[in-house]
Structure formats: structure tokens, C-alpha cells
A and B are shown apart, each in its own frame.
Chain A
Amino acid sequence: MASKKTNENKVTPEDANSRRDFIKKSGLFTALALAPPSLVMASENKWDEKIAEYLETVPLSIEVNGAKHNLNIEPRTTLLDLLREQLQLTGTKKGCDHGQCGACTVHVDGIRILSCLSLASMQQNAKVVTIEGLSSGKKLHPMQEAFIKNDGFQCGYCTPGQIMSGIACIKEGHANSREEISEYMSGNICRCGAYHNIVDAIIEVKEGGKLI
């Protein structure tokens, strides 16, 4: 399961400990211990942890739903956690967090991938589209409309992933029959069992011929 470290933005005591270890290793801690009062004050303000945090991160430029972001992230941050925890784009769902359910499906440079198995630090200059990036203003994307019309969900948790996959399925040319759609949508699990209606929605969008 997801470790709390990757899950939360807050600094847990465990994190703080590991950062202190890091400082110790780098010799900064010793320097601080022998430092004049001004530096001790700096330590009380948790500047040591801030420095460690900075040293443990890597810069990342990434475009999400058309907005450019320049960030500093820990190399271990997954794209899913970056979207949800740092960019507050919680439309992309964390289902299993192990690449088994498809709830975290997003488009990177036009291709559908699993954001839970993708390290954000490996997505330098990537263009990411999430469920939040599909509608224009209040107008829903044709696939979103088709899911509503065809009752393509019940609880809705898998829906953002299903919609992102459904759009890709058509764009890839893998939506030519019900069987082909089922095969190419098999990476998106729906425990409510809305599969039949999801396939209906995808067929409707494909046959509708709207720009997607």
C-alpha cells in the first residue's frame, strides 16, 4: 500500500528523522551544533530541515492541463501524488496505487499511462492532461457527456480513469467493436460493474464523430 510518506505533504516525525540523519551525514549538523546563537535560532526555525528538504529535491518543469509549473519535488514522488497532493488536482484517483486498477490513468504527451507507476521526476517538460483538463469552461467533453447519458458509472471512483482511457481507446483506433473496446479498456477496473454502459458510452462518442 501507499506509504504515508508519499501520501502526505505534511512532514511526519519519520520524515523529520530521516532529514536529520541526512544533515548529520552531510556535516551540517555538526556545524550547527558549534554555531553562534544566530545559527541556533536558524535551527529552531527549522531552517535545517528546510535546507535538507531542498537538497533532497529535484527541479521539475511540467505542464498540466495547459498550465506550466516549475516545482521542486522529491525524486520518489509519483505523478499521481504530484497531481493530487501538490497541485490539488484530485480528479485523478488513487485506487490500488500499484498499477492494477487504472483509476489513476492520465494522458502524458497524448498517451494514456498510469500515473501511480510513473515517477514525476522522470516527466521533465511533459504535457499532462487529467480529467480536470477535458472540459472547456462549463462545457463537458463529449466522453463525459456520454458517460452521464449512458449511465457509465455507479459510485464514480473509477470514472476519471475510465474516461481518460476511453478517449485514448478511440484515438488509438482500438474502438472498432464491443470486444475490442472491452479488451483495450481491461486495464480499468470498475467494481460497480458498469462495464456494459461504459462500452456504450465509448461507442456513442466514436460514432458521434465529434472532435475528442
Chain B
Amino acid sequence: MKNFQIIKALSANSAVTSLSKEADAKFIAGGTNLVDLMKKNITAPDKLVDINGLDLKKIEFLKGKTVIGALAKNSDVASDKEIKEHFPLLSLALAAGASQQIRNMATVGGNMLQRTRCSYFYNTDMPCNKRVPKSGCGAIGGSNRMSAVFGASESCIAVHPSDMCVALAALDAVVTVEGPKGSRKIDFKDFHRLPGNTPEKDTVLDPKELITSVEIPENNFAKNSHYLKIRDRTSYAFALVSVAAALDLKGKKINDVRLAMGGVAHKPWRLTEAEKFLKGKEVSETVFKQAADLAMKEAVGYGDNNFKLTLGKNAIAEALTIAASK
């Protein structure tokens, strides 16, 4: 790893200021992804701004919304009593990601900014437009078992690896960020972007901006929600496909529904058409299968990952069935 300078930030404001002075500086929180990327020389900042001392760890239950500090640890959010009660989907998704050691280190903000685990991004001997713009995409026509089936481009077919983000996308979360020009809010569904011809950009966040919190609006999904993650081994692996399903039921009738998928796109993938289709219908196996067919209608496989087209359909129907039966 290339050596670097490290400084400890005392406030969100000073963190943003000290970062904006340097051309090649980065914030560091849990470090579980950044340190790994630095070891591989995929990123090599001259300076790190350690933000762990900032007061951004709280989880606050306010009227109408819950605000989670960007530095709250993944394990703390997953095991928080009120999060479990009000947003079990988030708790389940967090617990499905990584290992307890990593969840003890990783923060909410850092989780959102983790890079893809596409093997071509990690292998510096291979072309990757995300790692080195204009170098090509090794995964297209290469080994692409983990790759995207939605929203990919000729430049990049990598997927976003987070589980937590799939739940937050489903729950209509809003991200608050602080930058040199002050703070702003970004809808979670717009936070991560599609690759287009600039796959090096994972999100709409400016590199000088700092995520300070994520808020989740109150909802009626607590009783009937489920996060289903399908992976190569029972635990501690990235999703081949995952589904966040949240239902607001009145008897058998679906009052409202949220559906999002992980492991299928460059961003957490909201299934808005399937949501529209399900709204107002009665819970049944047939309806869930129809919704799943509709959701996967636009999906495109790249060879090795063609199995995701069938797996995705089955996973959506299964997640909805489990959520409805809770």
C-alpha cells in the first residue's frame, strides 16, 4: 500500500473543508472496503480524513421519520430494538450482509459507498472501465456470473454489492449530505446511478461531499416484510440475487407494496411496475408470480448470468410469499 497522510476530523464541517483542500484525499470511516482497495492499489489517496470522531452515530426516532447517523455501525443498526420493530426489512438486510466482524466496523455511510465486487474491477491485470475509464469491460464476453441483468451498458455490467441499500431503496429513504456548498438531500433511489458511459461514478455524490445521515419515513410495512438473499453459500457471500419485499396488507388486500432487488444492477433496483401491478390486488400465488414475471420482463442476461432471469422471478415470488405469511 502506498503511504499516505492521515488526519482526524473534529466536525463534519472541518472534515469537508480539509478534504476540499486536497486533490487526492478521501474520507475514511470503517475502512472495510477502502483499506482493501488501497492494498490492491485500486485507489491510492495521498491523504485520509478519519471521520470516526464525528457525532454521527445516533439513531433517532422522530415524528414521521427515523434518522440514522452515517457513522452508525451496521451491527448496531441491525440489532437496534426499534429498527427491528419498525423497519425489520432493514435489520434483515443488514444481518444478511458480510460477517459480524465486518458489520462491527462498517458504517451506514460507508456501506452506501462500497464499490462493486466485479472480479474485473478487482483484478488490475484486466480491463475495467470502472477502475480505468476507457480500458474496456472484461465482464462483457468474459466471466460474468455475478453481473447485472438490468440497466447495464456497453461500458459496464457490474452490480452494486450492498444488501442494506436494497432495503433502504425499498423503504424510500432519503440521504443527507454535507458539502463545501452546504447540505442537501438526495432520494435514495437517485443516490446510486446507472453506469452509462461513465461507470467510474457509482453515485451522484460529489467526491467532496460527506454523507451525514439517512432518514426513513414512517410506513406500515413492519408486519409483512422480508429480505430474501440467494447466494453461493449459506452465509458470508455476496448476493446472486436478493429481494426486499414489503407489504401493507388489509386482510388479503394489498394496500401498498415496495419491491427492490440486489445483485441485478449497478444500483439497488426498484421494481416499480410490479409494485403498481400488485397495489389493490389480493394476495395469491398467481398474483405474486404475475408480478415476478412483470418485474423481470426487461431483464437481459450476458451468458454466465442467464440463470438470474429465472432465479430472479422465483426469488421475487418467494420473498412476497414469505412477507405475506408473516
Using CB atoms and an 8 Å cutoff, list the residues of chain A in contact with chain B.
2-3, 5-6, 18, 56, 58, 74-76, 78, 97-99, 102, 105, 111-114, 117-119, 121-122, 124, 165, 168-169, 172, 174, 182-184, 186-188
CA distance A186 to B1 in the complex (A): 28
The 8 Å CB contact of B100, one of A5, A99, A184, is: A184
- B32, A114: Cβ atoms closer than 8 Å: yes
The 8 Å CB contact of A97, one of B3, B39, B235, B236, is: B39
Within 8 Å CB of A184, what residues of B?
Answer: 100
Q: Is B5 an interface residue (CB 8 A)?
A: yes
CA distance A99 to B110 in the complex (A): 15
- B101, A105: Cβ atoms closer than 8 Å: yes
Q: Is B22 an interface residue (CB 8 A)?
A: no
Residue ID in chain B nearest A78 by CB atoms: B35
A118-B105, A119-B6, A122-B52 are contacts. A112–B28 as well, Cβ < 8 Å?
Answer: no
Q: Is B82 an interface residue (CB 8 A)?
A: no
- A113, B235: Cβ atoms closer than 8 Å: no
- B35, A118: Cβ atoms closer than 8 Å: yes
Q: Is B250 an interface residue (CB 8 A)?
A: no
CA distance A165 to B100 in the complex (A): 9
A118-B35, A119-B35 are contacts. A3–B1 as well, Cβ < 8 Å?
Answer: yes
Within 8 Å CB of A169, what residues of B?
Answer: 100
A118-B105, A186-B234, A186-B235 are contacts. A76–B2 as well, Cβ < 8 Å?
Answer: yes
CA distance A6 to B100 in the complex (A): 26
- B6, A58: Cβ atoms closer than 8 Å: yes
- A102, B101: Cβ atoms closer than 8 Å: yes
The A-contacting residues of B in range 1-59, CB under 8 angstroms, are: 1-6, 8, 28, 31-32, 35-36, 38-40, 48, 50, 52
- B102, A99: Cβ atoms closer than 8 Å: yes
The A-contacting residues of B in range 93-119, CB under 8 angstroms, are: 98-102, 104-105
Within 8 Å CB of B48, what residues of A?
Answer: 75, 119
- B28, A119: Cβ atoms closer than 8 Å: yes
- B235, A117: Cβ atoms closer than 8 Å: no
The 8 Å CB contact of B31, one of A102, A118, A183, A186, is: A118
CA distance A174 to B52 in the complex (A): 26
Residue ID in chain B nearest A189 by CB atoms: B236
Using CB atoms and an 8 Å cutoff, list the residues of chain B in contact with chain A.
1-6, 8, 28, 31-32, 35-36, 38-40, 48, 50, 52, 98-102, 104-105, 234-236
- B1, A6: Cβ atoms closer than 8 Å: yes
- B100, A187: Cβ atoms closer than 8 Å: yes
CA distance A118 to B290 in the complex (A): 47
State the 5 A-B residue pairs at the shortest beta-carbon distance, nearest first: A187-B99, A186-B235, A186-B236, A75-B6, A76-B1
- A75, B5: Cβ atoms closer than 8 Å: yes
User: Can you report 15 residue pairs joining A to B where beta carbons are below 8 Å apart?
Assistant: A58-B6, A75-B3, A76-B3, A98-B40, A99-B102, A112-B101, A112-B104, A113-B101, A113-B105, A117-B105, A118-B35, A121-B6, A124-B8, A182-B234, A183-B235
CA distance A111 to B104 in the complex (A): 7
The 8 Å CB contact of A119, one of B31, B100, B102, is: B31
- A74, B102: Cβ atoms closer than 8 Å: no
CA distance A192 to B212 in the complex (A): 43
CA distance A105 to B105 in the complex (A): 12
- A74, B36: Cβ atoms closer than 8 Å: no
CA distance A68 to B48 in the complex (A): 26
- A187, B1: Cβ atoms closer than 8 Å: no
CA distance A79 to B100 in the complex (A): 18
What distance in Å separates the Cβ of B63 from its nearest Cβ neighbour in chain A? 31
- B104, A5: Cβ atoms closer than 8 Å: no
What distance in Å separates the Cβ of B4 from its nearest Cβ neighbour in chain A? 6
Within 8 Å CB of B105, what residues of A?
Answer: 113-114, 117-118
Within 8 Å CB of A102, what residues of B?
Answer: 99, 101
Within 8 Å CB of B28, what residues of A?
Answer: 119, 122
CA distance A171 to B52 in the complex (A): 24
Within 8 Å CB of B4, what residues of A?
Answer: 75-76
- B104, A113: Cβ atoms closer than 8 Å: yes
Within 8 Å CB of B99, what residues of A?
Answer: 102, 186-188
What distance in Å separates the Cβ of A100 from its nearest Cβ neighbour in chain B? 9
What distance in Å separates the Cβ of B217 from its nearest Cβ neighbour in chain A? 30
Within 8 Å CB of A174, what residues of B?
Answer: 100
What distance in Å separates the Cβ of B71 from its nearest Cβ neighbour in chain A? 13
Residue ID in chain A nearest B95 by CB atoms: A183
Within 8 Å CB of A124, what residues of B?
Answer: 8
CA distance A111 to B31 in the complex (A): 16
- A187, B50: Cβ atoms closer than 8 Å: no
- A98, B236: Cβ atoms closer than 8 Å: no
